[in-house]
Amino acid sequence: MTVTYCSLGIILDDIVFPDGRTQMGMLGGGGAQATWGMALAASAPAQAGIIAGVGPDFPRAALQPLESVGADLSGVRATALPTPRAWQLLEEDGRRTHVWRVDQATSDRQTHPDATTILRVYPAIRLVQWGIHPEDPYLQPCVALRERGITVSIEPFKGLDQPCAEAALEALLAQSDIFSPNWGEAASLFGTAEREALLDRAKALGGHILALRNGAAGSEVWDLHTEEGVSVPAAPVSRIIDPVGAGDAYCGAFSVRWVETRDLADAAIWGAVAASFMLEQIGMPLQAPAAADIATRHAAVQAGLHRLTRK
């Protein structure tokens, strides 16, 4: 099967929960979780792959969540550098603090392939999705990929203490076909939590598809050119154990369905479904979800869909 969708980077997450419990060495990083969502939502799971460098310290068994959904792992390469690793500090209110445990330069070399590498590993690629730290966003591959008609989907990993400078925000929006922050991140980047003002600014700065995630309240997605959108609820879950990676899985699934169907509703529904499976265990699911469970959650989200317009 030809890989047509991929994400970038693997990180080992050392998770600290609000009550002080820890879970060490979990497969993570936005790339792994986004690829899981891609494989779940793609018409064929093996169309989804990941490009990442891992070190001698990486336990190969950690890839089981991606293997279980049939994702392609040929882009995971062994290097002499350490595997990127980070603390994920979770708060009761949903905030998460990411603290690197390896130096930034090493992490960048392992998680930031250039466009030439992406195209060499997966020459038939149609979509690349990755996460960025907004104070220092990795946008180097964007122009080369988009010039070839490849869709670029960007997700910020966190917000900022101060609104993003206009030129930096314009570059970020203009170079991504899909931009998917959560509501808190969007408010910090755009300098407003008021919906209309936020959407006006995103459109004025060259945005295309804006997917706004809002946790248990669901998500709202807009085509900034047509000013049409949809809102969907969160998918029902048995219980929430660990929120890490839910947003990444949403972005991966949403992006794949948008590329395959150009249907905001279909993409948002699949994003919500993929996100829900990340919540129910510590780390990523070790086994692929049952088809019946996927169908039940898909139907529940679809039942709560609303069409939106700004016209």
What pLDDT shows up at residue 258? 98
pLDDT-based confidence at residue 103 (cuts at 50, 70, 90)? very high
Q: What is the mean pLDDT of residues 196-224?
A: 95
Whole-number Å distance between alpha carbons of 62 and 55: 13
Beta bridge partners of 156: 132
Q: Domain range for residue 251?
A: 5-309
HEC letters along 176-220: CCEECCEHHHHHHHHCCCCHHHHHHHHHHCCCCEEEEECHHHCEE
Whole-number Å distance between alpha carbons of 121 and 43: 21
Is 243 a residue whose pLDDT tops 90? no
Lowest mean pLDDT among 57-71, 94-108, 230-244: 94-108
pLDDT tens for each residue of 195-204: 999 999 999 9
**Four-point Cα dihedral 41, 62, 110, 170, nearest 10:** 30
Helices 183-190 and 195-204 pack at an angle, to 10 degrees, of 60
pLDDT-based confidence at residue 108 (cuts at 50, 70, 90)? very high
CA 25 and chain centroid, separation: 20
Q: Which region, left, alpha or beta, applies to residue 213 given φ > 0 means left and ψ of -120 to 50 means alpha?
A: beta
Task: Tell me the CATH number at 185.
Answer: 3.40.1190.20
Is 47 a residue whose pLDDT tops 80? yes
pLDDT tens for each residue of 22-33: 989 999 889 999
Residue 175 CB partners (closer than 8 Å, separation 6+): 139, 142, 143, 146, 152, 154
Mean of pLDDT over the chain: 93
What pLDDT shows up at residue 96? 76
Is 159 a residue whose pLDDT tops 70? no
pLDDT-based confidence at residue 75 (cuts at 50, 70, 90)? very high
Query: Tokens 């708060």 correspond to what residue?
Result: 91
* Per-position DSSP letters for 26-80, written without gaps between them: EEESHHHHHHHHHHHHSSSGGGEEEEEEE-TT--GGGGHHHHHTT-B-TTEEE-S
Q: Which residue has the higher pLDDT, 243 or 237?
A: 237
**AA letter at 107:** S
Lowest mean pLDDT among 86-100, 133-147, 165-179, 210-224: 86-100
What pLDDT shows up at residue 95? 76
* Per-position DSSP letters for 240-304, written without gaps between them: ----TTHHHHHHHHHHHHHHHH--HHHHHHHHHHHHHHHSSSSSS-SSPPPHHHHHHHHHHHHHT
Beta bridge partners of 309: 228
| Closest C-alpha among 79, 70, 25 to residue 52 | 79
Is 113 a residue whose pLDDT tops 80? yes
Instruction: Express as a percent the part of the chain with pLDDT over 70.
Output: 98
pLDDT-based confidence at residue 160 (cuts at 50, 70, 90)? low
How many domains are contained in the chain?
1
